[in-house]
Amino acid sequence: MTLTFDDFQTGHFGRFGPRHITRDEIIAYAREYDPQPMHLDEEAAKASMLKGLAGSGWHMCSLMMRMIYDGFLHKSASMGSPGVTEMKWLMPFRPGDELTLNVDVLETRASQSRPSMGIVTFRCTMLNAKEQTVSDMTVPIMFGRRTLAEKV
């Protein structure tokens, strides 16, 4: 079954994961996209405000994307997203963390100009094993709608 706009309603949608974070993947992402010493090197990280090796905030975003994809986007009529309304990095994430993605639907809005689609605004929070919120994102995603034929 493909999830369409019509399958989403405001409220809690689901929890996905957990995903185990490794030192290797933190360093691999950092080397490619965010080679600040605090994301690459244990000693430099200890001396930084992160107080130890921690992943890039943009790595966190990439991990959220992957967990959204694996969680439900892969079986949806997604038509992409115009952007991110807000993204907060609240805590460091580190090697050994077990991260769970919590997804709530804040709003659903049918498109006036394009009746074949609607926009669902999600709030996605990443939690660590202590249920602390590591990051908090609000993102609208466009989805196709069920056709009248399919609704019958």
Q: Of the two residues 128 and 134, which places its CB atom closer to a second copy in the complex?
A: 134
Tell me the residue type at 91. M
Q: Which stretch binds a second copy (CB under 8 A): 11-19, 26-34, 98-106, 121-129?
A: 26-34
CB of 65: closest distance to a second copy in angstroms?
5
> Residue 116 has which token pair?
């074949």
Map residues 87-106 to x or -, x wherever contact with a second copy holds by CB under 8 A. Answer: xxx-----------------
Question: What's the rounded Cα separation, in Å, for the pair 102 and 120?
Answer: 15
> Residue 82 has which token pair?
């115009």
Q: Residues with Cβ < 8 Å from 3, sequence gap 6 or more?
A: 72, 75, 76, 77, 143
Query: Which residue in the set 19, 62, 100, 105 belongs to the binding site for a second copy (CB under 8 A)?
Result: 62
DSSP-based three-state secondary structure for 114: coil
Please give the residue ranges that form the binding site for a second copy (CB under 8 A): 29, 32-36, 38, 49-50, 56-58, 61-63, 65-66, 69, 73-74, 78-89, 135
